[in-house]
Amino acid sequence: MSIRLRLTLWYSGLFAVAFVAFGLIVYNVVFHNTMSELRERLIQVANNTEASGSRQPNELNLNSSAPGFDSTIIGMQLIDYSNQHSGIVLGKSPNMVRSNLTFPFLNQSDVEKRFVTKQVGEFPFYIYEHPLYDKDSKAVIALLQVGVLARGEFALFSQLKTILWISGLLGLMAAFLLGIFLSRKALMPINRVTEAAERIQSGSGLGLRIPREKPNDEIGRLTDTLNGMLSGLEHAYKNLEDSNAAQRRFVSDASHELRTPLTTIRGNVDLLEKIWLDDKQGDLRNSEEDTDQPEQSKLSVVEKREMSLESIRDIADEARRMSSLVNDLLSLARADAGYSMEMDNVSLRSLAEEAARRAWFLPRKAEWAVGPLEALDGVEVRGNRDYLLQLLFILIENGFKYTPSGVVRLYAMRSDGYIGLAVADTGIGISAEEMPHIFERFYRVDVSRGETAGTGLGLSIAKWIADMHHSKLEVKSQLGEGTVIMLWLPILTTNAKPVQ
């Protein structure tokens, strides 16, 4: 059974219960108000008749209490129980005698004061039964019955019942149809949700959104919640796809970068093995052959030494390159794993001076300049000294790498609670199209590919270190004119006046 049908049945059932209760209330109120006046008249007539009644048959004196037969008929009848328990009619009012009407009555033991409805012939009567007691024995000796012809009243009640039944059935049908319409309209947003979910399941994509009409009701809030969930799922799915693509690209690039030095190392090892193995085998052949035959040509000791040293240098260079690459990959793996750095108060002046001192020993073609660094005096930041030093070295090495001639400079400046360490060069620069991608892993600008050595991991690691220190890297570059990379760190403490 569908929710719409269940809601309609509940709605119709509640309406039916409410209408039945309403009909009972209306019927009882009308019945009580209509019959209360008759009851009062019957009781009044009974009291008057009781005072003037006689025990002689057909000698019941009504005085002026008996109305005319052509209007509302009030008839009276007296039952005598003195001779037999079943009772005999002692007397009637004249209008009942003329009409030949007799009210049915009870045995003496069942007599009680009450109002009853009796069908007398073809006429409905509303009868008040009033027992008469003996003063001494307190036994019932007679029963006075006062009845009124209630044909109009009972016709009214019958019509009222018919009206209530017909209106109730019509109202129930209208409630059922209205319930179907309202439930369909109320559940239409849920149908749209279901249709959207089915379209998404069939492959329409997470970009689908559920239309909404009234966002302030419960269905509207549900629609907004589901749309928000779909947006979150779409964003998460897109991030997952991007992450998977980046992971595949990362593995591919890492494999490529590792394969190159391994190929070089393996080639040099094979060369060394060939040099020394061929020389040893040549010695063995010469010793076994006739001494009169000419000696085969072989490398001299000096040539073997030079070739071996060259191969060893190549192996050492590639091993250092692999070591650097593995360290970079380890840093990025820590970044992906949510590695938490140990933080401490770091003095930036001593950190920058140490980085500047070590930079003198880096291979370079450009000039190395330091200063001004006065803005760092007395400034401390919250961070990890080793990682901050690594970040500066990455920026300095990049400056040397992409500046074939010119100057690379390290300087500092302060602004609005932040201290900035900048590495500026006059190198090849970065184009505007390449700028958004420079912090991606293994990404290298097209201008530098094949011209400078590198893996494209340095700036990715620098970005991770900056993020871990709640700082930001600001890059300004002009193609062919140079690049400035500024590291902005939040100042923890300062003991010196700002430098103007």
Delimit the domains of the chain by residue range. Answer: 3-158, 220-287+300-336, 344-494
Contact 27/7 with Cβ under 8 angstroms?
A: no
Quick one: pLDDT at residue 215?
A: 59
* 450 CB-near residues (< 8 Å, 6+ apart): none
Contact 119/132 with Cβ under 8 angstroms?
A: no
Backbone angles phi, psi at 125, to 5 degrees: -120, 140
- CATH placement of domain 3-158: 3.30.450
116 sits in the region (left: phi over 0; alpha: psi -120 to 50; else beta) called: beta
Query: What is the CB-side half-sphere exposure of residue 457 using CA atoms within 13 A?
Result: 21
Distance CA 231, CA 302 (A): 71
Share of the chain above pLDDT 70, in %: 78
Contact 470/490 with Cβ under 8 angstroms?
A: yes
Of 423, 422, 356, 345, the C-alpha closest to 379 is: 345
Of 231, 257, 411, 376, the C-alpha closest to 327 is: 257
Query: What are the structure tokens assigned to 419, written together?
Result: 């201290």
The angle subtended at Cα 99 by Cα 96 and Cα 102, nearest 5°, is 55
Say which CATH class 220-287+300-336 falls into: mainly alpha
Residue count of the chain, please give it.
Answer: 500
Fold observed for domain 344-494: Heat Shock Protein 90 (3.30.565)
C-alpha dihedral (447, 449, 455, 461), degrees to nearest 10: 10
Backbone angles phi, psi at 62, to 5 degrees: -100, -5
Of 130, 159, 160, the C-alpha closest to 146 is: 130
Query: What is the CB-side half-sphere exposure of residue 248 using CA atoms within 13 A?
Result: 5
Contact 442/459 with Cβ under 8 angstroms?
A: no
Distance CA 62, CA 209 (A): 89
Q: How many angstroms from the chain centroid is the CA of residue 414? A: 45
377 sits in the region (left: phi over 0; alpha: psi -120 to 50; else beta) called: beta
Distance CA 423, CA 402 (A): 12
Distance CA 28, CA 344 (A): 88
Low-confidence ranges of the chain (pLDDT < 50): 51-71, 290-296, 446-450, 497-500
Query: What is the CB-side half-sphere exposure of residue 493 using CA atoms within 13 A?
Result: 7
Distance CA 112, CA 100 (A): 25
Quick one: pLDDT at residue 58?
A: 42
Quick one: pLDDT at residue 35?
A: 82
Question: Residue 369: helix, strand or coil by DSSP?
Answer: strand
Quick one: pLDDT at residue 499?
A: 40
Q: What is the CA radius of gyration of the chain?
A: 56
Strands 493-494 and 379-383: antiparallel
The strand order across the sheet containing 140-149 reads 88-92, 74-80, 140-149, 123-133, 114-120
Question: Residue 208: helix, strand or coil by DSSP?
Answer: coil
Distance CA 213, CA 226 (A): 14
- Beta-bridged to residue 371, according to DSSP, are none
